[in-house]
Amino acid sequence: MKAKCMKIIFDFDYTLFNTKKFYKALQINFKKLGINKELFSETYKKSKKKRGYYQPLKQFNLITKEKTGLSLELLEKSLKKTLSQTNQFLYSDVESFLKKINKNFSCIILSFGVSEIQKEKIKNLKIANCFEKIIIAQDIIKVKGMKQLLKKQEAAIFIDDNPRALFETKKVFPNLITVRINRGAGGYFQEPNNKKIDYFVQNLREFKKILKTYEKD
């Protein structure tokens, strides 16, 4: 970590990454294999049911039950193709924002989902080298992941679109500065803010204004 730099811990999906666009690109690539929109949507949702995040292998198995002539290998190849395109699914304000703040803050990703998929998404981004550490949490509230990054009384900034994750992490880490980002998409955009949220923003330009308070001299 950079000496004396405050840590900014970023959520990934719907904070830096437009997951809706990724979903649509995956749907288009699967359509080329004869998978219609309804089957794709139904199996995608079912794959998320138990753990709350997209599980590709579970979706593939559900699809091949319906389309018995389709191999897992073809589905995996289609997913890999979509993962290779992830740079185009970054929100437009991300790249310039990270380049501007990188000298003054230690940037970290704390994401949620299948570790291999999330890391592959991030690896293919131009901005991947802006992050000093990448943690993929298996708990949606991210407390366990945060424990790998912070001491209990340590001050840091955490930006996420999930208000519950911000609430629960701040309960454990009282000096955490919590920032709710709501880009008008994702599973949480209609959920209200809560008393553990310090700031609310709609994009990274608004977040940059907040960071001026915390930049090192």
Give the mean model confidence (pLDDT) for residues 72-76.
96
What's the pLDDT band for 2 if we cut at 50, 70, 90?
A: very low
The CA–CA distances, whole Å, from 144 to 42, 62, 140, 150, 183 equal 31, 31, 10, 10, 26
Query: Domain check: are 75 and 154 in the same one?
Result: no
* Res. 4: pLDDT tops 60: no
Express each pLDDT in 171-215 by its tens digit: 999 999 999 999 999 999 999 999 999 999 999 999 999 999 998
Strand ranges in the chain using DSSP code E only, listed in sequence order = 6-10, 105-112, 133-137, 156-160, 176-181, 199-201
Query: Domain check: are 111 and 73 in the same one?
Result: no
Q: Is residue 94 part of a domain?
A: yes
Query: Domain check: are 81 and 106 in the same one?
Result: no
pLDDT given for residue 52 in this prediction: 84
Query: Domain check: are 82 and 118 in the same one?
Result: no
- Asked if residue 98 lies in contact with residue 83, where contact means CB atoms within 8 angstroms, the answer is no
What residues make up the domain containing 76?
Answer: 20-86
Residues near 190 by Cβ (< 8 Å), separated by ≥ 6?
A: none
What's the pLDDT band for 57 if we cut at 50, 70, 90?
A: very high
* Res. 216: pLDDT tops 90: no
Q: Is residue 54 part of a domain?
A: yes
Query: Domain check: are 95 and 185 in the same one?
Result: yes
* Res. 66: pLDDT tops 70: yes
Query: Domain check: are 193 and 115 in the same one?
Result: yes
Q: Which element (helix H / strand E) includes 21? A: helix 19-31
* Res. 140: pLDDT tops 80: yes
* Res. 147: pLDDT tops 70: yes
Query: Domain check: are 42 and 117 in the same one?
Result: no
- Check which CATH number belongs to the domain holding 122 and give it: 3.40.50.1000
Pairing of the two strands 133-137 and 105-112: parallel
Query: Domain check: are 53 and 13 in the same one?
Result: no
34 conformational bin, left if phi > 0, alpha if psi -120 to 50, beta if neither: left
Q: Is residue 95 part of a domain?
A: yes
Query: Domain check: are 47 and 139 in the same one?
Result: no
pTM of the model: 0.93
Q: Is residue 77 part of a domain?
A: yes
Query: Domain check: are 80 and 161 in the same one?
Result: no
Query: Domain check: are 38 and 110 in the same one?
Result: no
Give the mean model confidence (pLDDT) for residues 124-143.
94
Quick one: which of 84, 91, 160, 75 has its CA closest to 122? 84
Query: Domain check: are 179 and 115 in the same one?
Result: yes
Quick one: which of 107, 172, 157, 155 has its CA closest to 134? 107
Q: How far apart are CA 96 and CA 133, in angstroms?
A: 19
Residue scoring higher pLDDT (11 or 216): 11
* Res. 107: pLDDT tops 80: yes
Q: Which element (helix H / strand E) includes 76? A: helix 72-83
- Asked if residue 167 lies in contact with residue 147, where contact means CB atoms within 8 angstroms, the answer is no
* Res. 217: pLDDT tops 60: no
pLDDT given for residue 152 in this prediction: 94
- Which two three-digit tokens encode residue 190? 């209609």
Q: Is residue 1 part of a domain?
A: no
Give the mean model confidence (pLDDT) for residues 69-93.
95
User: How many domains are contained in the chain?
Assistant: 2
